[in-house]
Structures are given as structure tokens and as C-alpha cells.
Amino acid sequence: MMWKIVKPANFEMTYLNRINFDYDDGVNLAMMNDFMRNQFYDRILSRYAQGQQCTDIGFGTGFLSIMALKYGATHVRAFESDRFRYQLGCEIIQRLQLQDKIELIQDRYHRDTHGITPVTFTETVNGNLWGEGLLNSLPTKSGEIFLPGSYFLEIWAVEIPTAFAQGLYRTEKRNDQTIHSPAANFFTPGVDVDQTFVDLINEFRKTPARPIIDPLPDGIVNFVRQRETDWGWIPYMRAVQAGTVVASYCVDQRPVDQQIILRVPTDHWHDSIVLLVPRVGMQQDYDRLYLDTGAWGPAEDPIMLVKLQDTLQINHNLISGKLSYSMET
């Protein structure tokens, strides 16, 4: 489908100065160019938009609305809560001459207030899934077409060597303050091996003296969600691929409570160090998208369990998306 772009006389868009196309939700380039995300939505809208009146929650640039029209949607009612992105959306609709196809409303969508249409779609998720108000948009009963239809959390776990765990937890002392940081430019193989051998290789490399490695505390160990380490970018995401899912949930309707609690027995890990990484995503029919494969990046709260013997309790807040961990004796 092709539209003629119309540029009005005395064209001026001062609100563009208030939009950051590198960082703002709904318009940032990393998200707009995320081909995994875009192909996921393209596939599911191709199956559900034909001949339907639709609701788009979180208009942004209108990308999802445009795809719905591409697949034969008769009309799209779209919501955008941000004033400047709303102005951008109005301009896009006008320039593409889609005023009879897309109605853009400046408001935060809530189904109890705004009601539903035959098909509703949204991408109001963040890296921890729930932090952009998704909960208030979810269906309250079965039978509604809400795209994507399911939202999930999986807790992946894998036993890791002490050397790798210490590299994730490594700390430095600066100005009498403890700062968590990765090692820098050292030979750190990430497996437990004779330290004399490691030191010898670093000597040949003319590496500065090996930093002091603090011992790992027992229990639940938090570590900085590093981007660059001796093992590259966020190495725990690669490490956990060797693991398995030890707890999960999947939501397709609005839950009654504003948090979901998972429990993980840990007695079989009492002599081990275990890396736990949350992975969130969306699913519609046979199409499944992990958010950490795209512009959202990894979920924000990975942990390590060191010689833990009690049951681990995981709380996922469905308002903020925050994950929290505690031991349940």
C-alpha cells in the first residue's frame, strides 16, 4: 500500500525539538529498527487485522497502525499519552492522508474507561515486561482478540564456576567506596583452573597486577548488569543458554493481584553457585518473542545463588515490572 505524502504550507514542527528519537519510548531508532520485533508484529497482524476495527495502544510513530492497515484493517482507534508524540502522530496521519482511517486520541488507554474494539494490539512493554502500564490494558475475560495474547516470565538457571561468578561480582575500591565492576584486560578464562597458570599468562601479557577478588557471600548475590566485561557484552546471557527453566508463568488475562510469586527449591544446589536470569516475552499462537533478543535488552535483575539451601521466592511486580528475591525458610 502506498500513500501520497502531503506537506502543508508554512510547515513547522517545533514539537520535534521535544522528542528524542534516540531514547524516547515509541520513537527511538533502536526499537523502530528491531527486525525481530517488527517481524513478530507483522506476522500476527497479518492473521488478525483483515476487515477489523482495531485499537492501537501506544501509537508512537504509528508503525503498528500502518501495518494493521496494510493487512486490511478498516479503521484504527489509536492512543498516545505523550503530548509531543501525539502531535507527531497527528502530523504523520495528516501527511499520509489517513484521517479517515486512523483516529488518534491523546490519552492513556484503560479498557474500563475506553472500552474495546474487535481487535486490540499493543507493544507497551519494557525490559521487565510490566513497566509501561500493560496491566490496565489486558483483557478481563476470555474471547477477546488482544495482540499479543500472552505475556510470560521464565527464570533460567545454570550452575557456573567460581571464577566466572567472581568475574561477575568483582569489586574495586575507589575513594574508600566499594564499586562493583568487571575486570579489565586480564586473562580470565571463566572456569576454575590453577591460579598460578592464570597469573603466568597475565605476566607474559604484561598485564598489571591481578586485582583483589572479594570472596562471594553466601545466599542471594546481586551483581551489576554490566554491558562490557572481559567476556564481552553481558556474558551472563550467553552463559545461561546452557541452563534450563526452573520457574515460569504466562498471563493472557488481567491478574487479580498486582504481583505474581514464584518459588524455586534450591536444596539440590547447596554446594553450587547458580546463575539465575529472568527472561520475559510475548506470544501469539505459534509466534514467540523473547524481549532480550531485541531493543529492550536483558531483564534488569539477574542474580547468583551461592550455597543456598532454602526455597527461593521470586516476586514480580505487575505495575513497575520490578523483580525481587527472598529466601523462604
Which pLDDT value is given to residue 174?
Answer: 44
| Mean of the per-residue pLDDT values of the chain | 89
Q: What would the pLDDT profile of 245-264 be if each residue is shown by its tens digit?
A: 999 999 999 999 999 999 99
53-57/75-79 β-pairing? parallel
pLDDT at 12 over 70: no
Number of domains in the chain: 2
**Does 146 reside within a domain?**
no
**Does 141 reside within a domain?**
no
**Does 267 reside within a domain?**
yes
Give the predicted TM-score (pTM) of the model: 0.88
Domain that holds residue 87: 14-123
115 and 26 fall within a common domain: yes
Q: What would the pLDDT profile of 264-298 be if each residue is shown by its tens digit?
A: 999 899 899 999 999 999 999 999 999 999 999 89
Residues 6+ apart with CB under 8 A from 55: 76, 77, 78, 79, 109, 114, 116, 117, 119, 120, 121
**315 close to 323: Cβ distance less than 8 angstroms:** yes
- In terms of Cβ atoms closer than 10 Å to its own Cβ (0-12, 13-18, 19+), residue 55 is buried
**Mean pLDDT (whole number) for 103-107:** 96
**252 close to 152: Cβ distance less than 8 angstroms:** no
Which of 17-21, 48-52, 324-328 has the least mean pLDDT?
A: 17-21
pLDDT at 11 over 70: no
**Does 8 reside within a domain?**
no
54 and 108 fall within a common domain: yes
- The three grid cell numbers given for residue 89, joined into one nine-digit string: 502522530
pLDDT at 239 over 70: yes
**Mean pLDDT (whole number) for 29-53:** 96
**Does 134 reside within a domain?**
no
Which pLDDT value is given to residue 227?
Answer: 62
Point out which residues pair with 305 in neighbouring strands. 220, 274
Using CA atoms of 174, 175, 177, 181 in order, give the dihedral in degrees to the nearest 10.
Answer: -20
Which pLDDT value is given to residue 53?
Answer: 98
Instruction: Read off the amino acid at residue 278.
Output: P
**230 close to 183: Cβ distance less than 8 angstroms:** yes
Using CA atoms of 286, 291, 294, 300 in order, give the dihedral in degrees to the nearest 10.
Answer: -170
Q: Cα dist. 96→5, 60, 65, 89, 163 in Å? A: 5, 15, 12, 11, 57
Nearest to 24 by CA among 16, 14, 36, 13: 16
Nearest to 5 by CA among 78, 98, 90: 98
Half-sphere exposure of 290 (CA within 13 A, CB side): 13
- The three grid cell numbers given for residue 11, joined into one nine-digit string: 510547515
Which pLDDT value is given to residue 17?
Answer: 81
86 and 210 fall within a common domain: no
| DSSP-assigned letter for residue 76 | E
Which pLDDT value is given to residue 169?
Answer: 84
**Does 1 reside within a domain?**
no
pLDDT at 223 over 80: yes
Q: How far apart are CA 150 and CA 142, in angstroms?
A: 12
**Does 4 reside within a domain?**
no
- The three grid cell numbers given for residue 237, joined into one nine-digit string: 546471557
322 and 214 fall within a common domain: yes
CATH assignment at residue 118 = 3.40.50.150
62 and 99 fall within a common domain: yes
207 and 119 fall within a common domain: no
**Does 131 reside within a domain?**
no
- Which of 123, 139, 171 delimits the end of a domain? 123
Most confident range (mean pLDDT) of 177-181, 205-209, 251-255 is 251-255
Q: What would the pLDDT profile of 139-174 be if each residue is shown by its tens digit?
A: 988 889 999 999 999 999 999 999 999 888 875 444
